Amino acid sequence: MKKNLLWAAAFGLLMSASLVSCDDDDPVIDNPDNPDDPNTPPTEEVVTTNGYYVLNSGKMGSNNASLSFYNTDTQEVTADVFMEKNERGLGDTANDMLIYGEKMYIAVYGSQVIEVTDLQGNSLKQIQSTTGSPLQPRFMTSHEGKVYVSLYDGYVARLDTASLEIETQVAVGRNPEQLAVANGKLYVANSGGLDYNTPLGYDKTVSVVDLASFTETKKLDVVINPCNMAVDSEGDVYLVSMGNYGDVPNTLQRIDTQTDEVETITTTNATELASAGDELFMMYSQYDANWNQTISYIRYDAINEEVITNEWITEPIAQPYKIGLDSKSGTLFVTESDYTNNGDVYCFTSEGTQTAKFEVGLNPIRVFAVSIQ
């Protein structure tokens, strides 16, 4: 009951706010310390509801993507805010989420849409394909009033955050996954993941897109199957190539965005990574011959390029899935999933002390700390 009132109050506030500001939307000043960290929460003065949004991917074909909310004050979980607010589901297989300005962007890969909502979860627009071929959004990043979305048919779309229209798209490599902005350039990991069983095989490039002209200027050669990215405070792009799960191993690389040179990092390795600016928090899984996995949680000094610790948490988590970071509070998130049951989110301080654990939906892939007025 109390929660509902809160929501209603928050909703009312937001309505009045949007009435005032709906024309000159968004262009938000980027956090100078960490220019393109999508985890940057909106900088608000008045705080009414604090909590974490968790995007649950769901299972392919099950139309069970959901948006959970954990209220850090009441420690209550709302299983699916999106369904509650919009009386319809998010769709099938959510793949990424971004909070930018006063809006949340959710790439729903299976349903072939991008949902844009306000911070309460009310849908503002469901962006669908305008090109005739299906929109297959994978990952997103933001920069100067635009959201960039990798599309699995080999494009990156530029979405205007005021009009919520896809303005244009640029061709990149095959099956682009994560993307990051550094030094005025957009770096896109071209995985080629869907051609793995054809003679063509995986892609092994990172596209460099000039943001001003929005054209691809070059392709950098990397280890095959590049997927995940993070940018440090110096503008270095850290890139994980997944390899072929066989003779080419998972490899961590660093792209110097001044020279666009790629260097393999041999001192450590990662599959998942999150940037705290000067440091990276990473997770790496290794397998033995029987496919039992050992997980390391690596804290990496991105300035001096060295490992700080291999266990930024010591809590045993049976099936860790994704990691996340709220750079404002320094809260670290590890989600857990067995791909079968509802997942859990574990929250830690940057020193590795567990502060919360709560159950969300199936396959939690993104966690964001928010303060909603």
Comparing CB distances to other proteins, the nearer of 182 and 281 is 281
Comparing CB distances to other proteins, the nearer of 136 and 253 is 136
**Closest distance to other proteins from the beta carbon of 149 (Å):** 14
Question: What letter does residue 183 receive in the DSSP assignment?
Answer: T
**Closest distance to other proteins from the beta carbon of 216 (Å):** 17
Q: Is 274 left (phi over 0), alpha (psi -120 to 50) or beta?
A: beta
Comparing CB distances to other proteins, the nearer of 201 and 330 is 201
Question: What letter does residue 236 receive in the DSSP assignment?
Answer: P
Binding site for other proteins (CB under 8 A): 59, 61-64, 83, 86-89, 91-92, 108, 110-113, 126, 128, 133-134, 136, 152-154, 174-175, 192, 194-201, 242, 245, 271-272, 283, 285, 287, 290-291, 293, 295, 318-321, 337-342, 361-362
Neighbours of 247 (CB within 10 A): 6
Question: What letter does residue 1 receive in the DSSP assignment?
Answer: -
For 88, phi then psi, to 5°, come to -155, 160
Please check whether residue 147 is in contact with residue 163, taking contact to mean a CB–CB distance below 8 angstroms.
no
Comparing CB distances to other proteins, the nearer of 79 and 262 is 79
**Closest distance to other proteins from the beta carbon of 317 (Å):** 12
**Closest distance to other proteins from the beta carbon of 66 (Å):** 8
Comparing CB distances to other proteins, the nearer of 32 and 246 is 246
Comparing CB distances to other proteins, the nearer of 110 and 226 is 110
Neighbours of 135 (CB within 10 A): 24
Q: Which residue from 226, 299, 223 is spatially nearest to 267, judged by alpha carbons?
A: 299
**Closest distance to other proteins from the beta carbon of 278 (Å):** 26
- In the chain, what is the greatest distance between 2 CA atoms, to the nearest angstrom? 61
**Closest distance to other proteins from the beta carbon of 30 (Å):** 31
Query: Residue 14 burial by CB count (10 A; 0-12/13-18/19+): exposed, middle or buried?
Result: middle
Which residues, in sequence order, are CB contacts of 15 under 8 Å at separation 6+?
Answer: none
